[in-house]
Amino acid sequence: MSEVYDKLMRCYESVRKQIDFVPEVALVLGSGLGDYAKGIRVEATLDYHEIDGFPVSTVPGHAGRFIFGYVDEVPIVCMQGRVHYYEGYPMTDVVLPARLMKLLGAKVLFLTNAAGGIQQGMHAGDLMLITGQIASFVPSPLIGPNMDELGARFPDMSEIYNRDLIMIARKCAAELGIDLKEGTYLQFTGPAYESPQEVAMARILGADAVGMSTACEAVAANHMGMKIVGISCISNLACGISPEPLSHEEVQKSADEAAPKFKKLVTQMIKEIGKTCR
């Protein structure tokens, strides 16, 4: 058995010794979006450092814990804070939490992040439904011996973001009167924000938003057969699109401003997604 698989199993057993909750939806909260967790009917929480072998984040604004509970009547596990590749973890550690949440029972992975907007007409504070992604600028989390227990050696990636969940997102946004942008998310490694030339390249490649997370998690979750949906909070216009220099503080401030509509949309979507899990 591979080391990566052993570590995943060790984390799984460590969680299961402490908590028996079985989630249907796994929600990953991105930079500045962690406050969403306040609206969850909490059954249990588990700090990442309480899980044997679990990678722990170092980014300011990323509390590190799992929250188990309910949104409406839907059982969810929520990650308040994720680890990023730029923190120096191997890619297999970066995606370990997503894999773990699948093992805990989640069939749906709901990914959120803060991202820099590229698409024409985008503004800071917009929400973007991720309809596709470019993960080619970060190492694949599937490199190494394939874990046949999790998925295929050469998994299909033609529909990473589930069509039915995309329809649900559109319907919920329309009902709530939220202008939901849509587009392709491109992951760079970070931690530096992009140069204007890199943003120009990303635009040529078809990206509508750029960020430093999410796409690798989606690859690992798709490998395991999870249904994936993603929302980016456009916290800033990407470098060169915006005339202003970028800062982490600005990213968090915009995420705060977008929080009320983000909360409404995510809650409504989870309610609808819950119906599809029955």
Catalytic sites, residue numbers: 31, 62, 84, 86-87, 114, 212-213, 236, 248
Choose the binding region for ligand HPA from 124-132, 137-145, 205-213, 260-268 (rule: CB under 6 A).
205-213
Exactly one of 235, 252, 267, 268 binds ligand HPA (CB under 6 A); that residue is 235
Q: Decide the pairing of beta strands 108-117 and 74-80.
A: unpaired
Question: How many chain residues interact with ligand HPA (CB under 6 A)?
Answer: 13
Residue 210 in the binding site for ligand HPA (CB under 6 A) = yes
Tokens of 249: 């503080």
Exactly one of 212, 216, 218, 221 binds ligand HPA (CB under 6 A); that residue is 212
Distance separating alpha carbons of residues 5 and 13, to the nearest angstrom: 12
DSSP E strand stretches across the chain: 25-29, 41-47, 65-71, 74-80, 108-117, 127-134, 180-187, 209-211, 227-237
Choose the binding region for ligand HPA from 99-107, 149-157, 222-230, 233-241 (rule: CB under 6 A).
233-241
Exactly one of 180, 246, 259, 277 binds ligand HPA (CB under 6 A); that residue is 246
Exactly one of 25, 231, 251, 270 binds ligand HPA (CB under 6 A); that residue is 251
Burial class (CB in 10 A: 0-12, 13-18, 19+), 10: middle
Burial class (CB in 10 A: 0-12, 13-18, 19+), 60: exposed
Least Å distance, CB 33 to ligand HPA, is: 11
Residue 184 in the binding site for ligand HPA (CB under 6 A) = no
Residue 222 in the binding site for ligand HPA (CB under 6 A) = no
Choose the binding region for ligand HPA from 45-53, 64-72, 93-101, 232-240 (rule: CB under 6 A).
232-240
Residues near 18 by Cβ (< 8 Å), separated by ≥ 6? Answer: 46, 50
Could you count the other beta carbons within 10 Å of the beta carbon of residue 40? 20
Query: Which residue, 110, 150, 154, is CA-closest to 12?
Result: 150
- The nearer residue to ligand HPA, 78 or 202, going by C-beta atoms, is 202
Which residues in this chain contact ligand HPA in the complex, by CB under 6 A? 114-116, 193-194, 210-212, 235-236, 238, 246, 251
